[in-house]
Amino acid sequence: MDSVSLKGRKNGYEINLNANANFDDNITDLLNLLQRLSQSEQEDHGDLDFFLNTGRRLLDEPQIQRIQALFDKFQHFKLAHLAADVLDKSQAQTQVRKQGIHAEMSVIRSGQEVVYESDVLFLGNLHAGGVLKSTGSIFVLGQCEGILYAGYPDNDMAVIVGDISQATQVRISDTIEIIDPKRQHFSKDTIALINDLHVLDFDTSDHLLALRPKLYRKMEDNL
Amino acid sequence: MATSLVITSGKGGVGKSTTAANLGTALALMNKRVCMIDLDIGLRNLDVIMGLSNRIIYDIVDVVMGRARLHQALIKDKRFDDKLYLLPAAQNTVKNIISPMNVVDIVNQLRPDFDFILLDCPAGIEQGFQNAIAGADGAIVICTPEIPSVSDADRVVGLLEQREMKLAPRLIINRINRSLMNEGNTMDVDEITKHLSIGLLGIVFEDSNVILASNQGTPIVMNPDYNASQGYRNIARRILGESVPLMTLKEHKPGLFERLFGKRSRKH
């Protein structure tokens, strides 16, 4: 039985490699399959995209290069995507981290920059000159005198919730607001977010469900 | 074996060298053997404050370059028997001439002969700062009650915490103007200590006599009548583990009798 199987797709072919088979067998069978396809496909169809799935096997770099070398032998075949059904441990941990809320309780001092790839519940002390940066949202319960940067670098849906009256700046995605507590009123219920006009705006947390329903549900799931 | 302490601040002009000179002197007065090392290479002044400038023959760069042995470069302060020594910085070269490893070597050579080694750190956080903190077991951070000074101290504390020294950094708030602080025009002692989140080692009041004493090459701590002197002496006692209460921030207000006859119980 061949260790590779072929499926047609609207925009090319999907090839599944049987993860239980020896990898060398995968390579031999894949070469045979590509040769057969090359003979049957007419050249005037243009380039054909291939989506390769390795199932429950994770390939290392030399193995990926061997597969790429096979496709390079055929002028009109292009390896468009290579994927597996599994993740290695560190990738899985990163994904879990990104989905959860990280509680940060430390002092972030002048000149220090702390970066998280998740939402952050900030309970510590952010000094003037320090930066708390997150790819997700930031929920402030501590004291902030530095720069809060949510949605780094381009997550427009991120928000900053809490008392930001002492912060130097808040930044979300590519927008920046210099905080001036004399002109703006802030409280522990303040939300900073990017509005429909792509302007950094402020609201109150009772509107969070209406403004960011996905974030609200995510928070409910996490708590 | 000596404990080595770096005296640092980040910002210049807050009183690092003055503090190093006065703490070194105060510890020597308490019968501890102290060696002060000036690491402000190119801009040395610890020798001036100690009144030892004219006795410099070799300096720390001569030691590092092998032109002199360590004990040849040490200057003994004769006012304190054999309790207080200074290893001066070079004045005619740049900070990059010595490396952190050189400082570590020198400190380790001095450790068996002293109780304390005080490293006077240059301003800034570049090579000179890295040299100074490399040889230290702990740090004394100096700041004044001004926001730029507190902000720079905060930066320095962050860098010190990254190094994970044997002893946690401690804070001295220097040059406190009591009337400004009492009127709420500067950050107060509690605010600064809470903001920097490190232990408070002591406070020293602003005193023009500190400048006069430095100009004369006689650290003010040698005269116990001044408030600044008392502040430094208290800090030295705390370094030795004594429990000494903080000096009061209340200003001395002369009574009618004092105002009429100009009699003062204490120099201020």
Q: What is the pLDDT of residues A161-185, one digit of tens each?
A: 999 999 999 999 999 999 987 778 8
Tell me if B264 is assigned to some domain: no
Shortest CA distance from B197: residue in chain A: A107
- With beta carbons under 8 A apart, name residues in chain A contacting B193: none
- With beta carbons under 8 A apart, name residues in chain B contacting A124: none
Q: Could you give the CA distance from residue B101 to residue B74 in angstroms, rounded to a whole number?
A: 19
Q: Check if the beta carbon of residue B49 is closer than 8 Å to that of residue B217.
A: yes
Tell me if B103 is assigned to some domain: yes
Q: Do A125 and B197 touch (CB under 8 A)?
A: yes
Q: What is the pLDDT of residue B92?
A: 84
Q: Do A107 and B197 touch (CB under 8 A)?
A: yes
Structural domain including B72 reads 3-250
Distances (CA, A) of A45 to A76, A206, B152: 9, 57, 67
Q: What digits encode the pLDDT tens for the residues A37-79?
A: 888 876 666 788 899 999 999 999 999 999 999 999 988 889 9
Shortest CA distance from B160: residue in chain A: A109
Q: Could you give the CA distance from residue A100 to residue A102 in angstroms, rounded to a whole number?
A: 6
- With beta carbons under 8 A apart, name residues in chain B contacting A128: 151, 154
Q: What digits encode the pLDDT tens for the residues A68-126?
A: 999 999 888 899 999 999 998 888 888 877 778 889 999 999 999 999 998 999 999 99
Q: What is the pLDDT of residue B268?
A: 47
3-state SS assignment for residue A69: helix
Record the tokens describing residue A216, joined without a space: 């609200």
Q: What is the pLDDT of residue A47?
A: 81
b/e per residue B114-136 (b: at least 16 CB within 10 A): bbbbbbbbbbbbebbbbbbbbbb
How many residue pairs from chains A and B have C-beta atoms closer than 8 A?
25
3-state SS assignment for residue A78: strand
Q: Check if the beta carbon of residue B140 is closer than 8 Å to that of residue B19.
A: yes
Total domains in chain B come to 1
- With beta carbons under 8 A apart, name residues in chain B contacting A125: 197
Q: What is the pLDDT of residue A43?
A: 60
Tell me if B255 is assigned to some domain: no
* B237 touching chain A per CB within 8 A: no
* A105 touching chain B per CB within 8 A: no
Q: Which long-range contacts (CB under 8 A, 24 or more apart) does A151-160 make?
A: A151/A194, A152/A115, A156/A194, A156/A198, A157/A194, A157/A212, A157/A214, A157/A215, A158/A134, A158/A193, A159/A191, A159/A192, A159/A193, A159/A208, A159/A211, A159/A212, A159/A215, A160/A191, A160/A192, A160/A193
Q: Do A110 and B151 touch (CB under 8 A)?
A: yes
CATH of the domain at B115: 3.40.50.300
Phi-psi region at A151: left, alpha or beta (left = phi > 0; alpha = psi -120 to 50): left
Q: How far is A112 from chain B (nearest CA, A)?
A: 7
What residue ranges of chain B have pLDDT lower than 50? 265-268
Q: Do A129 and B159 touch (CB under 8 A)?
A: no
Q: What digits encode the pLDDT tens for the residues B230-268?
A: 999 999 999 999 999 988 877 766 777 777 776 554 444
Tell me if B22 is assigned to some domain: yes
